[in-house]
Amino acid sequence: MGELRLMKGNEVIAEAAIRCGCDGYFGYPITPQSEVMETLMIRRPWDETGMVVLQAESEVASINMLYGGASTGKKVMTSSSSPGISLMAEGLSYLAGAELPCLVVNVQRAGPGLGTIQPSQADYFQAVKGCGHGDYKLIVLAPASVQEMNDFVDLGFELAFKYKNPAMILTDGVIGQMMEKVELADFKPRWTKEEIQANCGDWACTGKKDRKRHVSTSLELDSELMEQNNLRFQAKYKEIEENEVRYEMIDCEDADYIIVAFGSAARICQKSMQIAREQGIKVGMLRPITLFPFPTKTIEELAGKVKGFISVEMSAGQMVEDVKLAVNGKVPVEYFGRYGGVVPTPGEIVDAMKQKLIGG
């Protein structure tokens, strides 16, 4: 068993990065995730593992530093909160277009604009549908506990390198600021030159010797060739959809109604489920862990067995669109949410479920 600690979600992101052999963190402070870089600066991993921690001059600079680091086969990451992620949109599209692996953490706050520093899940569309331009996808992981914040750093890097694609941890101020018991992973050393050669040797720019030149670019002016690139990306996204869907089902076996919720909303909904079940309402929950790829098939299967779904989100109704697509009209799909930094209470959700889904 690993080391047990009481830590904030944000602190755990930093500790997990050091422990999983991350080579570099590049970021710019913003509430509610500033503890990530703060923890890294206090931990001084450059003394311990040689990991670089750098406060860039802006989010735009951070994401482009990731592009540079990723091009050389290094495990690089950044973290920010909603407005900062918007600034990174261009860079993310370039990283996806150049097929470079990296990890981006979004500890969401409420928008639009500068909005407020309170928690939100209104960046679902931004994360899942692609916040930058072009046909690309991020692999999106949605932790619902401090433990998952720890686990998904390593998993995020693993998936990013497996598919040569940026991965994102999409969380929010609730999980970022909350302290829970966490079992920390054991230390993994950073990749050596030889390991980078073995893992990324066919694409990384590691210094050309006796091989063809490697170029990290998203630019391809020949449209026929650019279409080929896009076909390759789409095939990759399809492969990700087939192999990497992750979700948790809670009490779905006998359920008449299903709550679909991710991240902190899923935690709140677990309490709502307890309350509803005490009142004799048979409700279960599907918690998508990967938002892309989305558990479409699972929802489709559930749609044949239940009376209805409710998507509970801290947004004005974003994931509900994907739930509707999966259910495809078989049963009603409702939405409930609070937003603008307001977090719904378990009781409110039960009331909404009764009113919208069950009737009365």
Partner 1 sequence: MTEEIIIAGFGGQGVLSMGKILAYSGIMQDQEVAWFPSYGPEMRGGTANVTVILSDDRISSPVLHEYDTAIILNQQSMDKFESSVKPGGVLLYDPNGISRHPERKDIKVYRIEGTRLAAEMGNPKTFNMIVLGAYLKVKPLVEMENVKKGLEKSLPARHHKLIPLNIEAIEKGCGELETVQE
Shortest spacing between CB 178 and partner 1, in angstroms:
5
Distance CA 159, CA 102 (A): 9
Placement of tokens 């066919």 in the chain: 202
Task: Look at residue 108 and give its three-state secondary structure.
Answer: strand
Shortest spacing between CB 153 and partner 1, in angstroms:
20
Shortest spacing between CB 166 and partner 1, in angstroms:
28
- 144 CB-side CA count, 13 A: 20
Q: Which CB atom, from 42 or from 198, has the smaller least distance to partner 1?
A: 42
Q: Which CB atom, from 105 or from 273, has the smaller least distance to partner 1?
A: 273
Terminal-to-terminal C-alpha distance of the chain: 48
What residues line the site for partner 1 (CB under 8 A)? Answer: 4, 6, 31-32, 116-118, 173-174, 177-181, 264, 267-274, 343-348
Distance CA 240, CA 103 (A): 16
Q: Which CB atom, from 4 or from 198, has the smaller least distance to partner 1?
A: 4
Shortest spacing between CB 264 and partner 1, in angstroms:
7
- Report whether 142 contacts 291 (CB < 8 A): yes
Q: Which CB atom, from 60 or from 185, has the smaller least distance to partner 1?
A: 185
Nearest to 97 by CA among 59, 71, 69, 72: 71
Distance CA 48, CA 38 (A): 17
Shortest spacing between CB 7 and partner 1, in angstroms:
10
- 118 CB-side CA count, 13 A: 10
Q: Which CB atom, from 58 or from 345, has the smaller least distance to partner 1?
A: 345
